[in-house]
Chains A and B, each alone.
Chain A
Amino acid sequence: MLAKALTALLTVVAGIGAALLLYWVLNWISERLPDNWEHRIKPYLFILPAFLGITVYILYPAILTVINSFKDNFSRNWVGLTNYRTLFDSTYFRGTLFNTLLWILIVPAACVIMGLTVAVLADRLSPRGEKAAKTVIFLPMAVSLVGAATVWRFIYDSEPKGSTQIGLLNALLSIFHKGPVAWLDTSTYHLNSLLLMVILLWIQVGFSMVLLSAAVKGVPVDTLEAARIDGASERQIFALVVIPQIRGTIITVFITVTITVMKIFDIVYVTTGGNFNTDVLGNQFWTQISTFFNYGAASAIVVIFMIAVIPIMWYQVRHFRSEEAA
């Protein structure tokens, strides 16, 4: 234990020392240069270590992933587009893509609408009531996805007919002598996928509510008053005065939740494991790499991911720039 602590301390001292030395050397080099060159080169020299870090830890793995997606299961031989072809040929994977799309289409929109509704309605409560309501809705944010999925599994649980139903929903049904319904096994109209989305909404609405609530409160009162004096109804004020002024926050929330949803894995893994037509890209990636040891197919899924994320990134950067310009 003492040896370990000493090693750690030594590492910190040596690490900081080496880094200081490195920057001192870089600074020294740039100071040897003629004055006008010194100012031109110095920023690049100082950014170099960080740039190298990004290259080694992000760029290199990304490029390797693209390369591996064209290789076989253990990245030994080139196989061309086989990984992609196999994935898109399988009905299972097409179902997985469709489910992921459903998540992306439904969850961010639902999250923003619900968060905004709560934010606007809570705004009209007494300060104490507002605090209480918001706290309750924000609380699930503190629960991990795995924890939430485990809890919700009990809510959706289904025991054989004739046994005591320990799942909340089926227990309610049994009061009316109905059911049991195997909620998570029922993929009619993607019911089970929708039920899984509820879990993520339960967690995420708090986040969306907090940001949107702050934005709603930030809307200048005089604009609202001006609208009221001009005879606008409350609905018109909300749609035409409040919404345009909090548009930036709505987009930020929407994009953040979209990215969370694209990476969704934990909820599906814990509840259905992707069975009963609920699989999503994140879980399929995990299955390919950890269960099937198919690094090729797993890399191909990541590449599909990266391509799918590009439009969102592009939009986000554009949005960010326009905000800065404004």
Chain B
Amino acid sequence: MRSLAYRTALLGAALLAGAGLTLTACGSGSGSGSSNSTTVTIWSSVDPPVKAGLEKKLVSELKAMGSKINIQWSTVTNINQLIITKIQAGGTPDIAYIPQPGVVAQMESLGAIKPLNSAVDMSSLEQNMVPGMLQAGTINGKLYGLLGSANVKGLVWYNKPAWTKAGWQIPTSIPALESLMSKMKAKGSATAPWCMGINSTGSQGWPATDWFETLTMKDYGATAYNEWVTHKIKFVSPQIEHVGAQFAQLLFPNGNAYGGRSAIASTGFDVAGNGLFTTPTPKCWMYMQGSFITGFFPTSVQSSLDKSVGVFGFPPATAGGQNPVEGGGDMLTMLNDSANVQTVVKLLSQPQIGDDAAPTSSFISPFKNFDMSLYPNDTTRTVANIMYKGDTFLFDGSDAMPAQVGAGSFWTQMTAWVANQESLNAALTNIDQSWPTSGS
């Protein structure tokens, strides 16, 4: 009897010890907040080379100041989900770079972030940033998210040698773009005007939303765009219906996009642009995608980027008319406002913070007065200039909409429409219906 009891006890002990181990394993993972006040923790999901460049400059500036602040900068995957979970569970960093204004707004509604106004030099930011950048991170008149590194969207990429040989001119308005497209089609059916692909594992459909956003801002300007992003203008509205029709007219007719409408849904955004560079004849003349797409181009193209690739911003509705630029980027948010954290935020909000990152990575500075000579090639300079010269910088709308729409129904309904599974009207109606009623 006794020996049985002892054996049971031993087994129980082993089980409990197992449970104890699990507990300690959980315990050691959550202690990622700053352990003492001289350490400032930063989380970001930016490309590792960008992070390395920014961190290098930050540390050397701190050293130059004679500061004792110790920087702990971690690259985390999928920061949007992680930060919301951590806000509820504990163990947040001092500073986080968030790629979506919608998430910044949620962090603010959870009371997790502090306004940046007192930590940064607002007047110099207002002077040196493109209008619209600060607004993207402003909630109730206070700045909560500051764009730290930017990317530009609505860029039309083309094969430079082939384009020059064909003698195409960069269009200055949407009608000019349309007439260029008909010239391209008249030249022969081997090369379609556009390449297009909206497939992307886990986030099918987002490239189509970028097209919608670009067309909306070019057609109706910044004010209407922002009203649409905040749902004051519905998806079922004359404006957005017109944008849908325009999208369809540019891409759906036979021969306009390589492979036709059905190929758009099944082609990956990452490989769609490779059609520009096929030999002997390119499959398409133009591909619209963000500044990051160069990293997906064939290696032979990447190694001679300036010679192989040309780029222009999607043209305004009328030549010389209003010309907002769509973009995105990572926004600096402050979760603690101790003096040390404020010092770091101040350094991170100055143009020269990008000096080490720009030459060695895909970093594009959001500051107009950034030293352009630091960019590694002319292509990056052209892209940066498109952003600096734009009259407004408008943050990717789907990233600013509530996630149910911006990362949900907008993506899925565009996919369903492009795949010809439902009408434009049904897609727009479904998106409107999915808009959360209680502010989230």
Partner-B contacts on A (CB < 8 A): 11-12, 14-16, 18-20, 22-24, 27, 42, 46, 49-50, 53, 72-74, 79, 90-92, 158-163, 182, 184-185, 187, 269-270, 272-277, 287, 290-294
Contacts and interface: CB of A to CB of B under 8 A. Distances in A.
Which 9 A-B residue pairs are closest in the complex by CB-CB distance? Answer: A160-B259, A15-B17, A19-B13, A19-B16, A160-B263, A15-B20, A23-B9, A182-B266, A16-B17
A20 B10 contact: yes
Nearest to A30: B5
Contacts of A185: 262, 265-266, 419
Interface string B201-217: 11111000000000000
A11 B13 contact: no
A158 B12 CA distance: 56
Contacts of B8: 23, 46
Given A19-B14, A74-B110, A277-B421, A158 B433 contact: no
A257 B34 CA distance: 47
Interface in B272-293: 283
B13 A292 contact: no
A15 B16 CA distance: 7
Nearest to A26: B9
A27 B260 CA distance: 76
B19 to A, nearest CB: 6
B294 interface: no
B12 A92 contact: no
B408 interface: yes
A160 B258 contact: yes
SS of A interface (majority): helix
Interface string B1-43: 0000100111011111111110010000000000000000000
Contacts of B9: 20, 23-24, 27, 46
A23 B412 CA distance: 56
Contacts of A19: 12-17, 20
B434 interface: yes
Contacts of B266: 158, 182, 184-185
B88 A11 contact: no
B361 interface: no
Interface residues of B, number: 51
Contact of B21 (A15, A161, A162, A290): A15
SS of B interface (majority): helix
Given A161-B263, A162-B258, A276-B265, 14 more contacts: A15-B20, A18-B20, A27-B5, A53-B15, A92-B434, A160-B258, A185-B419, A272-B204, A273-B204, A274-B412, A275-B415, A276-B416, A291-B408, A293-B81
18 contacts: A15-B16, A15-B17, A15-B21, A16-B13, A18-B17, A22-B12, A24-B9, A42-B5, A79-B438, A160-B258, A160-B260, A185-B419, A270-B201, A276-B415, A277-B416, A291-B81, A292-B403, A293-B106
A22 B433 contact: no
A32 B88 CA distance: 46
B336 interface: no
A49 B403 contact: no
A15 B430 CA distance: 55
Given A74-B110, A185-B266, A294-B440, A163 B13 contact: no
Interface of B: 5, 8-10, 12-21, 24, 78, 81, 84, 88, 106, 110, 201-205, 258-260, 262-263, 265-267, 283, 403-404, 407-409, 412, 415-416, 419, 421, 430, 433-434, 436, 438, 440
Nearest to B189: A162
A49 B9 CA distance: 11
A275 B404 contact: no
Nearest to A157: B266
Nearest to B426: A91
A270 B265 CA distance: 16
Contacts of B14: 16, 19
Nearest to A24: B9
A161 B263 CA distance: 8
Contact of A291 (B407, B419, B438): B407
B419 A12 contact: no
A260 B202 CA distance: 22
Contacts of B201: 270, 273
B196 to A, nearest CB: 10
Contacts of B412: 92, 274-275
A184 B201 CA distance: 13
A195 to B, nearest CB: 13
A272 B419 CA distance: 13
A12 B21 contact: yes
Nearest to B265: A185
A22 B267 CA distance: 61
Contacts of A42: 5
Contacts of B415: 275-276
A16 B19 CA distance: 10
A289 B8 CA distance: 41
Contacts of A273: 201-204
Contacts of A53: 15, 19
Nearest to B438: A72
Contact of A160 (B81, B267, B421, B436): B267
Contacts of B421: 187, 276-277
Nearest to B257: A160
Contacts of B81: 290-291, 293
B402 to A, nearest CB: 8
A276 B417 CA distance: 10
Contact of A11 (B5, B16, B21): B21
B259 to A, nearest CB: 2
Contacts of B20: 11, 14-15, 18-19
Contacts of A50: 12, 15
A16 B14 CA distance: 6
A23 B205 contact: no
A2 B88 CA distance: 33
Contacts of A27: 5, 9
